[in-house]
Structures are given as C-alpha cells and as structure tokens.
Structure 1
C-alpha cells in the first residue's frame, strides 16, 4: 500500500514525499482510514511504529478540509495530550513536517519553562494544541485556554500517563471537553486500568492493534548470564569494570529497582542516573541529555520511561532484570544496534526469571547464548 491509496490530499502527500515517506507503516495504514471517517479509535502501538503520523496526518486532513469562518479562528479544534515534554515536542515537529503545505496552525505547551511564549502563541490562535497535563490545567485555570468547542481529542501514551501519576489530571481535563467529539486513544499496553479509562473516553471505537515486533536485529550480539539475584549488583559492576564500555543503558522492572541500582553504581564511583515515572520532566530531560553527551556513563531506566530514548552509537543494553513480557525484551535491546550499527545486549537471569527467558526464546525463535565463564555464575 502507498500513501496515495489512503485518499490523502495533495498538500499532505507533497509533504510526505519531501520527508521521504513512501509506504505507510501497519499502524498508519490501519488507523488513517478510520480517523478520516471521523470514528473514535482505540490504538495499541508502541513508540517507533509510526504512531504519531497515524493520527497527525488524518487530523491535518480533517481540519484542512473543514476550514473555520473568520470569526471562529480563535478556537482550539484539536487537543493532543501527552505525558512528557519530549513527546510533546516530537509530536509538534511531526505536525510541522506533515502540515507544512496546509493552513493548520499548532503550538506545543509544557511545564518547566516560562509560559509567555506559549500564551502569546495561544493568543494568536491555534487549530491544534499539543500539551502535557500540568501546564494545560494551569493555563486553563488562568483563562488562556478553553476547550468547549473541541472537535478532536487525542490521548497519547495512555499507559505511561497512568504510570507517571497523571490519571487525576486527565480526568479533570476530560470534564472540560464537549461530549460530542472524535476521540483517539493510544497505548503501548492495555492492562485493565487502561481499558477502564478508554471506556470512559471512547464511543464505539474502531480497534487497531499492531503486532509487537518479534525479531531482533542480527547486528546485536546477545548473551545471557545465569546469576543469583543477590549477585546481580556485583555482576553489573564486574561488567562495567571494562572501561571500553563508554555508555550502557540498564533496564529494571520497577522504579524502586532503578533507584537502588543507581545507588550501588554511584557508591562504586560509576556516574549514573535513573529515568522513570517518578522523576520530574526536567530531571528526565537532564538525565537523557547527560547520557547522550556521555557525562553520565550509565542510564538506569524502567520500560515505560525509556520509550522514545534514541541515543546514537549506544553500544550496550543490559537487562538487570528479565522482562516478564517477551516483546519488551525485543523493544529494550532494539535501543542498540540501530541503523546497521553493531550492539551488545546482556541479560542477567536468576532462577525465578527462567520462565521469562523461555518465553523470549519462543518469541524470537532462537536461544540466547549463555556466558558460563563469569565470576558469579550459578550454573552448577
């Protein structure tokens, strides 16, 4: 399928051509027709699947094809709610790229910076508002934003929104939206709490699910270390004693676990920071900036907080804990070995995690080689 087959208007097709896009990704080919039909949508897709374009492209088209009268130009027509400033900025960049030949105006608002440039942009009038929950509610309370004439509402990264404690803010915002609207809901995972939230937002939605990636790049050298849970810290320090490892992204299953690993690393003199949902946007932004510049050698992350981390030339990913969802393993190690580069993925497996490892082997259709010769091996 090509973008031409999706019945997109010429200004958008021209922009996509200029961006080098030729074929839509699975989430795009499935979601765009439903959104153009003005249906509510429940989308299950991870970051990196082309999800942003899946909603940005049809929203631009719907707004462009239904221009406002001059006297209506001050109203916000679309709200895209996203959990972090990083994601808000990325979405804003996408609207700039795909909408460059349209008349659609957008702006991005988030906390941690002065509000005047944001309120100035709002005063000039925008069609699409991309916002994080805290700053949005703040500017609503100050009278800068009204959402009562909204046409389209997008909740992006819903599971991460809940993980970061924004559920109450989201519910406050929902009460301010008109009952008659088109709603689009995207989440990488669909646990019960997310489905409950989706049910309160959507009306008879079309459902689109992208099958999670199930293969690992051949450029990534994978290995597993069998180790007692109590020896994982020692094994991590042993591996990091190799000074040729300039940076490493370490994954834990929980926020508390990430903080504990950072404490151990810092005590041993290894520069490290944690990135997870309990950290402020500023703290996460700074941690990522320090990691990219190699001022921080090790970044310890939870899976949800790590979405969107795209670091050039990252050589090592270390699974301090084996993920309990096999697709998560593929997503984690895909942070290295990007764009044809070589990468190394190391996984620590204790006795309780062997079942998770078996599930991963089944998903990727191969066994990960075992490193037997290490000082903390529990293979007896």
Structure 2
C-alpha cells in the first residue's frame, strides 16, 4: 500500500516522494487515517517503526488546510522528554513542511541553552512547537507564546512523559491547553499503570498496538555475560578491542559512572565520551555529531540516551549497568538494529544482578543464555544458597534491600532502587 491511499494532501505526497518515502510502515498505515479523522489516539509501536511520521504527516496535513484562514499561533504542540528528541522531531517535520506551498512555521525549544534566542524566534508567532516541558513552561511564563489556541497535543515517548519525573510539569501544561483538542500519545512501551493514566486523559481514543511479527522484529542479537562488577570496564575494553567494534553505545546507571568509565577507556587509548544531563547542550550536540559521523568510537550514556535517538548503523549497545525496569531495557537495546540493520545488545550481569536480569527476561519472554568470557570468569558468590535446602535456607543477608546480597556489604542507593523496582514489577 502507498501513502497516496491514506488521504494525505497531494503536496504532502510530493514532499514524501522527494524524500523517497513511498510506502507507509505498519504504524503509519493504521495511525494516519485515525489521526486525520480527529480522534484521540493511543499508539504503541516498536522503536524505529516510524512513529514521528505517523503523527507528523496528519498534523501537517491539517495545519496546511487551515494555514490561510488562521493567524500564526500555536495550533499543534509536540512534547518530548529530551533535547535530542526535540531536535530530531523538529528536523523531520521541517523537512516536510518546507516543501509545502502553505507556510507552516515550526519552533523547537528545549532547556540547557539561553532562553533569549528562543523568545526572539517566537516573535511573529509559530504554528507548531516541539518542546521539552520545562522550557515550554519558561516560555509561557515569559509571555513568549500562548497555548490557548492549541488544537493538537502530541506526547512522543508518552510513557516517559507520564511518569513521576514529568508529572508536575505536564499537569501545569495540560491546564493551559483548551479542553477541546485532539490528543495523541505515542510510545514504544506503556506500563500498566502508565497505560491506565493515559486512558484517563484521552477521550474515547483509538487504540493502536503494533506487535511486530517475527519477520518485522528488529534483528538484534542479545547476549548476557556474567562478570564481577569491578571487572566490567576491563571486560568492556577487551570486547571493544577483540571484537573490533567500530561504534558502541554503553548504558550506565549514573552521570558519575558515565564520566568514570569514559575516562578509564580514554586512558586505555579508546576514544570515549560521556553523555548525560549535566553536560552543556553544546557538548551533548558535539558528542552526538561525532558519534554519528564515526569520529567517536564509544559513548557512555545514562538512560536519557535510550529515548528517541536515531543513530543509523549503530552495531552494538552494552548494558554496563542493567536498567532499573524491564521497560527501559526495550528502549535501550532499540538504539541498535534500526532501519533493517542487524545489531547486538550485550548485558553485563553480576551474581548480585542476575535475579534482576532474569526478571527482565521474564517480562519480555526472553531466554538469553548466560555466558562467561575467558579470563573474566566471576568469582563464586559469598554464602551461596544450598539448592538442596530449598528457599527457606536463604539467609536474611541475601535480601538486596538489607545489604546488597553479599554478607558484610551494605547496599548502595542504586542497589535499593533496583531491588524496589524489581519487587514492584512482580
């Protein structure tokens, strides 16, 4: 089936043809007609499936039809959780809008940079705003824009925007929007609690759930390596060298860990850079630009890099630290195996985190054999449970909320958070 069968304007079809986009993906095939009818929608589709165009095309179609009859004001709002995703969405929408006969102005705003240029860019009005929540609220407070005429609200990576980290900002923004509007929630995952919250915010939504067939699933090989936590950096360096990985995105739990691991790799003459929220926007942009252009071999990132980043032909993702939730695992490994390319996702697992990895496997219906790399064999865990004695033989000091699972060792804050997350998902 072609885009021409979905009811899009001839101008948009020509713009798609110029970009050699001829056939819609499965999520575009189902979402575009639903959005064009004006219904609210809740859409779940895997990473790399084309969700941006699934809402972007009908959004531009609607705005182009009304462009001549409306003063320039914010008629569509796209909220995203990260600066990098804001830039990416803005580039996609502008590439199409710039080829339309009707002038549609698209503004991209995010924090980490001076607000003044963004305020100046808003003079004269804008039709579409792609924004992170915090900076958008700043602009509203500075009277740089109004959301009173917004007709379409899109939450891209909706599950992230609906969690506790964005709850207060999102509620403030929703109060500024008209009650009568079209709301579109798109994400690769919706945890049960988030799904229930999303449903309560939508009016009789069309629900689209694109489950990939075996043929359509990303070609991502998954590997789990059992290794003692203190030796993970050595193992990472060994794998980069022996496997001749040209580019690798490594996920860690904290900003501090990103800095430390990157520094250790650089000392081993492996060009690596950290990527986290405390870096300046200029530094973050430079790291991504160098990584995409293969001028940079390794990026050590927090979970802010797991959402929305589209890095073509990224061969390897490594979970140096396991994600705190099974949901985030999906977003992390989805950075590889995109656009039909093959990818590899490697997870480092210690004796203390093996149970958490098994929980991730269970949530995703996976069976990933636990491997050991020669020369990096883990030491036996302290006080192992005797399997002949049954569960009751497990001593209290193996409770990760008590002392991290090892006798005499107090748990870190990270250990406690992971254990609590695991229990909440059970």
Do they fold alike, i.e. is TM over 0.5? yes
Moved more, 303-312 or 3-12: 303-312
Whether the 8 Å CA contact 1:109–1:136 is kept in 2: the answer is no
Whether the 8 Å CA contact 1:361–1:367 is kept in 2: the answer is no
> Which residue of 2 is the match for residue 355 of structure 1?
358
Residue 236 (structure 1) aligned with residue 236 (structure 2):
yes
> Which residue of 2 is the match for residue 194 of structure 1?
194
Moved more, 23-32 or 161-170: 161-170
Whether the 8 Å CA contact 2:333–2:345 is kept in 1: the answer is yes
Alpha-carbon distance in 2 for matches of 1:304, 1:189: 16
> Which residue of 2 is the match for residue 108 of structure 1?
107
> Which residue of 1 is the match for residue 169 of structure 2?
169
Alpha-carbon distance in 1 for matches of 2:180, 2:313: 47
User: Which runs of structure 2 are paired with 1:63-82 in the superposition (5 Å)?
Assistant: 63-67=63-67, 69=69, 72-82=70-80
Taking only aligned residues, the RMSD between alpha carbons, in angstroms, comes to 3.7
1:26/1:228 CA distance change after superposition, 3 Å: same
Per-residue displacement from partner, 1:359-378 (whole Å, max 9, x unpaired)?
A: 59965xx976x765511235
> Which residue of 2 is the match for residue 98 of structure 1?
96
Shift of 1:113: 3.8
Shift of 1:31: 0.9
Per-residue displacement from partner, 1:257-277 (whole Å, max 9, x unpaired)?
A: x64364245246255444356
Moved more, 326-335 or 176-185: 326-335
Secondary structure class of the residue paired with 1:185: strand
Whether the 8 Å CA contact 1:104–1:127 is kept in 2: the answer is no
Per-residue displacement from partner, 1:160-207 (whole Å, max 9, x unpaired)?
A: 335693332221111111111111112222124533542453111111
> Which residue of 1 is the match for residue 181 of structure 2?
181
- TM-score normalized by structure 1? 0.80
Moved more, 192-201 or 174-183: 192-201
Query: Unmatched 5+ residue regions in structure 2?
Result: 381-426
Shift of 1:78: 1.2
User: Which runs of structure 2 are paired with 1:254-273 in the superposition (5 Å)?
Assistant: 254=253, 256=254, 259-260=256-257, 262-267=259-264, 269-270=267-268, 272-273=272-273
1:18/1:265 CA distance change after superposition, 3 Å: closer
Whether the 8 Å CA contact 1:40–1:182 is kept in 2: the answer is yes
Alpha-carbon distance in 2 for matches of 1:221, 1:167: 35
1:237/1:124 CA distance change after superposition, 3 Å: same
Structure exhibiting the larger radius of gyration computed from Cα positions: 2
Greater RCO (Cα-Cα under 8 Å, separation 6 or more): 1
Secondary structure class of the residue paired with 1:65: helix
Whether the 8 Å CA contact 2:107–2:122 is kept in 1: the answer is no
> Which residue of 2 is the match for residue 84 of structure 1?
82
Query: Unmatched 5+ residue regions in structure 1?
Result: none
Q: How many residues align?
A: 370
> Which residue of 1 is the match for residue 385 of structure 2?
none
Shift of 1:17: 1.6
1:157/1:223 CA distance change after superposition, 3 Å: closer
Whether the 8 Å CA contact 2:133–2:170 is kept in 1: the answer is yes
Moved more, 25-34 or 266-275: 266-275
Whether the 8 Å CA contact 2:319–2:348 is kept in 1: the answer is yes
Alpha-carbon distance in 1 for matches of 2:139, 2:27: 33
User: Which runs of structure 2 are paired with 1:237-316 in the superposition (5 Å)?
Assistant: 237-240=237-240, 242=242, 244-252=244-252, 254=253, 256=254, 259-260=256-257, 262-267=259-264, 269-270=267-268, 272-276=272-276, 281=281, 284-292=284-292, 297-303=297-303, 305-311=305-311, 314-316=314-316
> Which residue of 2 is the match for residue 42 of structure 1?
42
Alpha-carbon distance in 2 for matches of 1:379, 1:344: 26
Alpha-carbon distance in 1 for matches of 2:250, 2:23: 34
1:276/1:188 CA distance change after superposition, 3 Å: farther
